[in-house]
Amino acid sequence: MEAALLASGSARLQSAVPGVCRAEDCCLGIDEAGRGPVLGPMVYGICFCPISKREQLAQLKVADSKTLTEDEREKLFTKLNDANDFVGWALRILSPNEISTGMQQRSKYNLNTMSHDTAIGLIQYALDSGVQLKEVYVDTVGPAEKYQAKLKELFPELEITVKAKADSLFPIVSAASICAKVARDRSVKSWTFIENLGDVNVDYGSGYPNDPKTKEWLSSNVDPVFGYPQFVRFSWSTAQVILDSKAVPVHWEDDGKDGDKKDTPSVLSFFEKKTVDPKLQSHRYFTERKLVSIANL
């Protein structure tokens, strides 16, 4: 598996679809890795296999990725990848830049919706590849019932189970979580900065906000104008707080739209008599074009 990806977009990686998955009823598990960190991408993984081979999958001893060391995960991923006669997988890597821009765009695209949409996209990918999907198991993001209802509405023909801790309950979800976690680890480790940073210090720790190394890296790598390289999720409050104190303030047109009513004129002001001196009021040709006379450069 090659975990190199475009820093700004998202990438999908997938195994070949085993023939048996096209012929037999299959189950599919979904899990994610890298939801919390302030650095690096978020990775979504799916794993699928025929329902009849569920026992065989369990024998690979896949377990919740969080209980495993990095080494064990790598080994398990190799095993999964080698079992390509009945196990298939696919990954969607959401770059930190995509997360930042999504969450900070004018109409906010929050992380939960992004997660849901990515999961939906991967289920659709499996269906489009001819996998005979019957059952889908998902580790929940947000309230499980709502998420399940949403998926059910989109895929009425599938049996969908959304559950917290699904990665430790269903081997197919565990397998998906291993794929996601391995992909996340590799892409962070081999991150190639598209920015011309020279000899950047790459000792940024785990990338989680509570890691002192990560925090230290964040506060010593602020550019006053640009902030951070695209490796950092700008939308994380950890990054925001450091930017607020160390970088130049930047004002956007939709600043303070939420809650801050300072700039909203009172309705009464529209009925007030305009007291602008007609001498200083320029013609609408100029005001419509934001053209003003100036006295100084």
Partner 1 sequence: GAGAGAGGQRERQREEAQWVLLAEESITDALENTNCGPVFTRLRNPKTDEASLYLFNSNASQIYEVKAFDENYHSWFIGQSVQSDGRLLFVTPLDPLFLVLPYFLKATEQQAKYWLVDQIMKDEDFPGCSTLLKCPRTLQSVHHIADEKEIGDQKFYKYSQEKTLLWLKKKVKQTVKALKSNNLNVGGGVQSSTFIRSKQAAEVTEEDYLRYAHGLLSDYLPGALSVELLKILGLPDVSTKAAAIEPPLKKRKLTDKPVEAEEDYTKFNSDSKDKKSSKMTAAQKSLAKVDKSGMKNISAFFAPKNKGPS
Give me the residues that bind partner 1 (CB under 8 A), please. Answer: 195-198, 200, 220-229, 248, 251-253, 278-280, 282-286, 288-297
Q: Which residues of 20-43 are buried (b: 16+ CB within 10 A; e: fewer)?
A: bbeebebbbbbbbbbeebbbbbbb
Nearer to partner 1, 163 or 215 (CB): 215
Q: Which residues are annotated as a binding site?
A: 31-32, 139
Q: Residue 131 and residue 124: Cα distance in Å, rounded?
A: 10
Beta strand 42-50 with 26-33: parallel, antiparallel or unpaired? antiparallel
Closer to partner 1 at the Cβ: 83 or 218? 218
Smallest separation, CB 285 to partner 1 (Å): 5
Binding-site residues from annotation for a divalent metal cation: 31-32, 139
Is 16 or 225 the residue whose CB approaches partner 1 more closely? Answer: 225
* Of 84 and 281, CB closest to partner 1: 281
State which H helix or E strand residue 269 sits in. Answer: none
Orientation angle between helical segments 212-220 and 237-246, nearest 10 degrees: 40
**What is the smallest separation between the CB atom of 252 and partner 1, expressed in angstroms?**
6
How far is residue 182's CA from residue 184's CA, in Å, rounded to a whole number? 5
Q: Which two tokens stand for residue 163?
A: 């559950």
Q: Which is nearer to partner 1, 104 or 129 (CB)?
A: 104
Determine the length of the chain. 297
| Minimum CB distance to partner 1, residue 204 (Å) | 12
CB of 25 to partner 1, least distance (A): 51
Which own/partner contact pairs does 286-290 have at CB distance under 8 Å and 24+ positions apart?
none
Question: How is residue 67 annotated by DSSP?
Answer: G
Report d(CA 245, CA 203) in Å as an integer: 22
Least distance from partner 1 to the Cβ atom of residue 196, Å: 6
